Amino acid sequence: MKLLFIGDVVGEPGRRAIRTLLPKLRERHLLSFVIANGENSAGGSGITPKTAQEIFAAGVDVITSGDHLWDQKEVMELLQNEKRFLRPLNYPPGTPGQGSGVFEIRNPKSEVRNPIFIAVLNAQGRTFMPTLENPFLLVPPELERLRQQTPIVFVDFHAEATSEKIAFARMLDGRVSAVVGTHTHVQTADDQIFPGGTAYLSDAGFTGPHESVLGREIEPVIRRFVTNMPQRFEVARTRVLLQGAIVEIDEASGRASRIERVSEALG
């Protein structure tokens, strides 16, 4: 099976890129499942039921998130009612929503007749990030629970420090199908398969306007650095790309055999 993970979706341009490009990518690569990090999909910060529904309608199966989870108050509706929306697992007990889920892969072209399931887990790093519970301690027991249901496990690790991402993924090598990083909005060139069969990429990049500073208009960001004064960072508009990674996974073992970066231009 082939899975597409879409890096951080930024604002309306990012949603438009998914709506326009995802059907073509599905057909070209014979994709079985699509995951997108949607934490910046609403005006460039946060997510709402409306933007989530737009992303789902475009063909995304599961939406993950990160440190901008709470930027839109409407997110509570998603956390309480939408099982296909995940927040980082390492929030304290009692936090609304779920950090992982198991989903059926609906792939009529698969040679395997029995239902195929994939587990998706969302976790957040702690280095240079808002303090949450330690993912290095919380994720392994959750993986044991998930692997009782399926050998195919995908992890979105939303973190700042590359060292933390690599260490986390190395710890999970052989226990998950893939670990792909999000948050920095800069696609890295270290896509690889670890010895235990886990696909890895430090950062998937972002889906949105790249004539920008991480998706925002350039000049206000420069003014902020020059003056140290508050600025309004509007979402940029031009050179829109859909970025992420395609992972090829053996359905029986859950081991990844290939990972390929994606950077597809919109029009």
Q: If you average pLDDT over every residue of the chain, what do you get?
A: 96
Q: What is the pLDDT of residues 19-51, one digit of tens each?
A: 999 999 999 999 999 999 999 999 999 999 999
Checking if the pLDDT of 108 tops 70, the result is no
pTM of the model: 0.96
- Domains contained in the chain, number: 1
Q: What is the pLDDT of residues 210-258, one digit of tens each?
A: 999 999 999 999 999 999 999 999 999 999 999 999 999 999 999 999 9
Q: What is the pLDDT of residues 131-168, one digit of tens each?
A: 999 999 999 999 999 999 999 999 999 999 999 999 99
In the numeric block, which tokens belong to residue 241? 């790309």
Q: How confident is residue 109, by pLDDT bands cut at 50, 70 and 90?
A: low
Distance CA 205, CA 183 (A): 8
- The whole domain housing 6 covers 2-265
Q: How many other β-carbons are positioned within 10 Å of the β-carbon of residue 254? A: 22
Say which of 68, 158, 183, 185 is annotated catalytic.
68
* Closest to 155 (Cα-Cα) out of 109, 101, 110: 101
Distance CA 180, CA 196 (A): 16
Q: What is the pLDDT of residues 81-92, one digit of tens each?
A: 999 999 999 999
Distant-in-sequence, close-in-space partners of 85: CB < 8 Å, separation ≥ 6:
38, 47, 52, 62, 63, 65, 78, 79, 97
Q: How many other β-carbons are positioned within 10 Å of the β-carbon of residue 220? A: 14
Q: Is position 183 annotated as part of the catalytic site?
A: no
Checking if the pLDDT of 120 tops 90, the result is yes
Q: What percent of the chain has pLDDT over 70?
A: 97
- The CATH number for 258's domain is 3.60.21.10
